[in-house]
Amino acid sequence: MRSCGPVLRVWAGPFPNFLLFTPEAFETVLSSKKLIDKGTEYGFLHPWLGTGLLTSTGSKWSTRRKMLTPAFHFKILEDFFHVFNEQSQVLIRKLGAISTTEKDGFDIYPFISRCTLDIICETAMGCKIEAQTHIDSEYLQAVLSMCRILNVRTSQPLMRSDILFKLSSHGAQQRRNLKILHGFTDGVIQKKKLERKQLNLINKEPTSVVNNSEKDDFVPTKKRLAFLDLLIEASKDGELLSDSDIREEVDTFMFEGHDTSTAAISWSLHLIGSHPPVMELVNKELERVFGNSNRSVTMNDLNELKYLECCIKEALRLFPSVPITARNLREDTVIHDYILPANTTVLLVTYFLHRDPKYYPDPELFQPERFFEENSRGRHPYVYVPFSAGPRNCIGQKFAMMEQKVILANIFRNFHLQAKDKRDEIVLLNEVVLRPRDGIRVHLTPRLKESL
């Protein structure tokens, strides 16, 4: 594709799209405060997510972004560590049980998916759905079904028509899914608001989140708060956010915080498990930090897990969770001396950007040392964007990296892992996120540990 030039035009019927895959092109689009409109395909998410942070634009997006950024302050993220560790331990028990019965290996992807869903439910909504212990979870099945339907709408021309889609079996399935998804979120919101009123009556004052500086440092003053609690507090009893506004943002974070993390963790497991020398270095780092203990992972531990972080970053280079991002151009835009006309779509192909041999020699090789500080220095800032970049970068990227490090650290502390599939045998699917068609097969051997 690179031999075609830095800008490639393709046609979707009568409509031109422009494929971009150079850091210079990415910088032009992603750094702009004007080119923030998502592609038309994001409209397929509106029935589920409304116009929340992911799909909105203009003043609504700007206002919501400013309002929600404090919810991801490190002080609040640190409060989520007990959830990361708790759900990781449930995952470890599930993996331990299946590793004794599936001697030839098994698909670990659904186990990771249920774990990340439990984590995002508890941190975003403050409720437990126990997807790991109730694998037939109606909510989980509805989420997975919606992702499949979104892929159908983007890949099948006839299904891009709202009329034809509504008349199809996919449209009927989406309506069933939305009843489950919206019903669940609405129920949790009302329950939270009722609990809040009861608590206020008991305390005779609100349990508040204080915005005490221009830096938007929301600090919980009385209790650990989920993302939903922060939204309810910020809503000012409906003056700033209605219940439907709150649902938009909660559903958005349920969507963005589940499947993307599942894919990232699963690809990391596959790549580390395919490279024994890398696995050995990961194990040595974990032994240095944790010894032979069973203690929980802490925020300070994450700062010490530098090689594991490099492994995650390299996995995200090779398999970015969102391999393609679409933006609509509001105005004529010059990229690589080409004038791309207003009202057309640019497709930012992160998958190819991350394989630029100028910055990543032998780009198909898995080499975590690419992200050692001395090797990253001087690299173009827009040649690595797994969480996007610029004004519309991923608001939850710190949360995602923390979650991934905790889950991976706990898995590798408890098991020796071996990937069962060769990378070139894995079929990739771009179903909203970049996922393996047939899962990630691994073989696990429990590590002998002392009880403390």
Rounded to whole angstroms, the Cα distance separating 249 from 265 reads: 24
* Max CA separation in the chain (angstroms): 68
The type of residue at 287 is E
DSSP assignment string, 6-41: SEEEEEETTEEEEEE-SHHHHHHHHT-SS--PBPGG
Rounded to whole angstroms, the Cα distance separating 264 from 258 reads: 10
The length of the chain, given as a count of residues: 452
Spacing of C-alpha 88 from chain mean position: 17
Rounded to whole angstroms, the Cα distance separating 351 from 383 reads: 11
Measured CA distances, 147 to 48, 329, 378, 431 (Å): 11, 26, 38, 6
Which residue matches tokens 């996120």?
433
Dihedral sign for Cα 161, 56, 354, 272, please.
Answer: negative
> Residue 388 carries which DSSP code?
B
Tell whether residue 147 is among the known ligand binding residues.
no
Residue 140: count of CB within 10 angstroms of its CB: 21
Q: In 262-392, which ranges are E strands?
A: 324-328, 333-335, 338-340, 345-349
450's tokens: 């002392």
105's tokens: 């290996």
DSSP assignment string, 172-193: HHHHHHHHHHHHHHHHHHHHHH
Spacing of C-alpha 78 from chain mean position: 18
Q: Are 254 and 396 in contact (CB under 8 A)?
A: no
Q: Which residues are annotated as a binding site for heme?
A: 394
Binding residue numbers: 394
